[in-house]
């Protein structure tokens, strides 16, 4: 395996291997230093502290050193220099590049320029494949399986890249049904829906389907993804997971969220047995370690 740009870069057996590898890594007292003497470049042209830190920690755990930029620094590099030149420079310093960028398709473009592997850590509203592996690993931990489950994706299904990656990754499995719960302005993109090979239905009112759902995946409605701010104001709080909603859910259902959240899940829900988003966040480092493993082929 070389680049990881889309979840389509993973086959069903890649997912299975990643789950097993993550299980193994989580139980290891000392991690194998498979990235010893290697340098991982973290090129975050768009800031994301959580993702940056988890990739960085995963690399360090495996013996790598890291270089890179994030936050303000990353944003100003994105403004000042063209992407291709920055990637060429990083090729001189590193053995692989983890890239986060605000433009759709930036990771794929970077991979075409780069001689070393590129991992997409989120490109615009396009994809965020490693987050999806974390999401699916959490589901696998809770249900032992992905097949046969009923999913509900709720919130911004149009501009949230985790949704694209999640829906695409489900094509590698056999979900029973997928409900796409969103206001019409934020419905999933048609080109993504056309790729899906499993039953799905678009729903506006979650009350119609909430009792059937095993996995409720909640997304943040992000202001910066909207071309128009007034559109954002109209829909920003369309869906809030509160105690009332949780009371309608099945006892063994789980709620996932890629975090950080704003108001879409109320804090009192955190203590319910369905809330699994902190558990999900705790898998970020081991899953990304497993992904590094696969890239270096160990």
Partner 1 sequence: METVNKKELIVSKIKNGTVIDHIPAGRALAVLRILKIAEGYRIALVMNVESKKMGKKDIVKIENKEVDEKEANLITLIAPTATINIIRDYEVVEKKKLKIPDVVKGLLKCTNLMCITNNDVEAMPEFKKISEKPLKMKCVYCDTVIDENEILKQILGSKS
Contacts with partner 1 by CB under 8 A lie at: 82-84, 101-106, 108-109, 113, 123-126, 164, 189-192, 227
The smaller minimum CB distance to partner 1, of residues 103 and 198, is found at 103
- Rounded to the nearest whole angstrom, what is the least distance from the CB of residue 203 to partner 1 in the complex? 23
Would you tell me how many other CB atoms lie within 10 Å of the CB of residue 148?
12
The smaller minimum CB distance to partner 1, of residues 126 and 220, is found at 126
Q: Is 65 helix (H, G, I), strand (E, B) or coil?
A: strand
Known binding residue 161? Answer is yes
- Rounded to the nearest whole angstrom, what is the least distance from the CB of residue 226 to partner 1 in the complex? 11
- Half-sphere exposure of residue 216: CA atoms within 13 angstroms, side-chain side: 31
**Comparing C-alpha atoms, which of 196, 188, 210, 216 is closest to residue 274?**
216
Q: Is 66 helix (H, G, I), strand (E, B) or coil?
A: strand
Known binding residue 150? Answer is no
Known binding residue 49? Answer is no
- Rounded to the nearest whole angstrom, what is the least distance from the CB of residue 254 to partner 1 in the complex? 29
The smaller minimum CB distance to partner 1, of residues 189 and 250, is found at 189
Known binding residue 50? Answer is yes
Known binding residue 141? Answer is no
Q: What is the DSSP letter of 265?
A: B
The smaller minimum CB distance to partner 1, of residues 27 and 82, is found at 82
Known binding residue 79? Answer is yes
b/e string for 239-252 if b means 16 or more Cβ within 10 A? Answer: bebeeebbeebeee
**Comparing C-alpha atoms, which of 149, 283, 127 is closest to residue 216?**
149
- Rounded to the nearest whole angstrom, what is the least distance from the CB of residue 80 to partner 1 in the complex? 13
If you compute the radius of gyration of the chain from its CA atoms, what whole number of angstroms results?
Answer: 19
The smaller minimum CB distance to partner 1, of residues 125 and 128, is found at 125
d(Cα 151, Cα 116) in Å, to the nearest integer? 36
Give me the count of residues in the chain: 298
β-sheet bridge partners, residue 101: 123
Is residue 211 packed enough to be buried (19+ CB in 10 Å), middle (13-18) or exposed (0-12)? exposed
- Rounded to the nearest whole angstrom, what is the least distance from the CB of residue 156 to partner 1 in the complex? 15
- Rounded to the nearest whole angstrom, what is the least distance from the CB of residue 126 to partner 1 in the complex? 5
The smaller minimum CB distance to partner 1, of residues 106 and 157, is found at 106
Binding residues for L-aspartate: 79, 161, 220
Binding residues for carbamoyl phosphate: 50-51, 100, 128, 131, 259-260
Binding residues: 50-51, 79, 100, 128, 131, 161, 220, 259-260
């Amino acid at each position: 395996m070389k680049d990881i740009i889309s979840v389509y870069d993973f086959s069903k057996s890649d997912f299975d291997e990643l789950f097993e590898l993550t299980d193994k890594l989580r139980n290891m007292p000392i991690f194998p230093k498979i990235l010893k003497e290697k340098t991982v470049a973290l090129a975050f042209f768009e800031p994301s502290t959580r993702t940056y830190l988890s990739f960085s920690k995963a690399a360090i755990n495996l013996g790598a050193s890291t270089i890179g930029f994030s936050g303000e620094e990353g944003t100003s590099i994105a403004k000042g220099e063209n992407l291709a030149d920055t990637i060429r420079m990083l090729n001189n310093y590193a053995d692989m590049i983890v890239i986060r960028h605000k433009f759709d398709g930036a990771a794929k473009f970077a991979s075409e320029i780069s001689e070393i592997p590129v991992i997409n850590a989120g490109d615009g509203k396009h994809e965020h494949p490693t987050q999806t592996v974390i999401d699916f690993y959490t589901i696998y931990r809770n249900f032992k399986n992905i097949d046969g489950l009923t999913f509900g994706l709720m919130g911004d299904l149009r501009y949230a890249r985790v949704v694209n990656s999640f829906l695409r990754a489900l094509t590698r499995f056999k979900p029973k049904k997928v409900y796409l719960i969103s206001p019409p302005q934020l419905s999933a993109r048609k080109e993504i829906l056309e790729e899906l090979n499993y039953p799905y239905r678009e729903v506006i009112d979650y009350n119609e389907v909430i009792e059937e759902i095993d996995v409720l995946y909640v997304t943040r409605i992000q202001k910066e993804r909207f071309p128009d701010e007034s559109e954002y104001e109209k829909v920003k709080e369309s869906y809030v997971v509160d105690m009332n909603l949780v009371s309608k859910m099945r006892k063994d259902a789980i709620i996932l969220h890629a975090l950080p959240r704003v108001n879409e899940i109320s804090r009192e829900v955190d203590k319910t047995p369905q809330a699994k988003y902190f558990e999900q966040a705790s898998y970020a480092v081991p899953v990304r370690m497993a992904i590094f493993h696969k890239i270096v082929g160990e």
